[in-house]
Copies of this chain bind each other. A is one copy, B any other.
């Protein structure tokens, strides 16, 4: 999505530790009109698929998931993050490693909000090592539902998480794929 690439070049900042800071439009501050355009693009990419529900993970996945869902007239379920692994109740849960924060956390979805046989589109803001998406895919599998595909706003292509998922046969559509980045330059695939 050309307009997203332009926005990343204009507003994004590369910080130490391979962090691409886009807090001016994608998290912290939300450029809602632009998010709605990104949502329309996700809807267009998956327009030929039957989809029942969008799944994301709090916090920063909620806005882009909601934008896609508004275009597609679908509900969203967002997995909740917990630092504790000691969670009870009727939930699907899995452990996810965050390279950004250097911690493991547990993501949790109440069983009543994912149903066997449902066709699920997974949406998130960033795709880097793919650990969050792998966790969400695991949760969909626990529910015996089906992953139609994954769509992320920004993929860090050089961290290979997206390509690992594609090699597993999962359809992954990222609106912008960063091929390389440093404090001075940023290129797209």
Q: What 1/0 flags go to A78-114 for Cβ under 8 Å of B? A: 1010000000000000000000000000000110110
- A30 within 8 Å of B (CB atoms): yes
Contact indicator B66/A31 (Cβ below 8 Å)? no
Check A32 against B63 for contact (C-beta < 8 Å): no
Q: Give the residue of B58, B67, B73, B74 whose beta carbon is less than 8 angstroms from that of A59.
A: B58
| A69 interfacial contact with B, CB 8 Å | yes
Which residues of the partner chain B approach A77 to less than 8 Å between Cβ atoms? 28-30
Q: Mark A106-129, 1 if CB is under 8 A from B, else 0.
A: 000110110000000000000000
A32 and B75: CB pair below 8 A?
yes
Report the count of interface residues on A (CB-CB < 8 A).
Answer: 29
Number of copies: 2
A62: chain B residues at CB < 8 Å are 30, 59, 62-63, 66
Q: Residues of B contacting A67 with CB < 8 Å?
A: 66, 70
Find out whether the CB atom of A70 lies under 8 angstroms from the CB atom of B32: yes
A108 smallest CB distance to B (angstroms) = 9
Closest to A80 in B: B28
Report if A110-B32 is in contact (Cβ < 8 Å); known contacts: A62-B59, A70-B70.
no
Closest 5 CB pairs of A and B: A32-B69, A30-B76, A29-B113, A58-B59, A59-B59
Chain A residues engaging chain B, CB cutoff 8 angstroms: 23-24, 28-33, 35-36, 58-59, 62-63, 66-67, 69-70, 73-78, 80, 109-110, 112-113
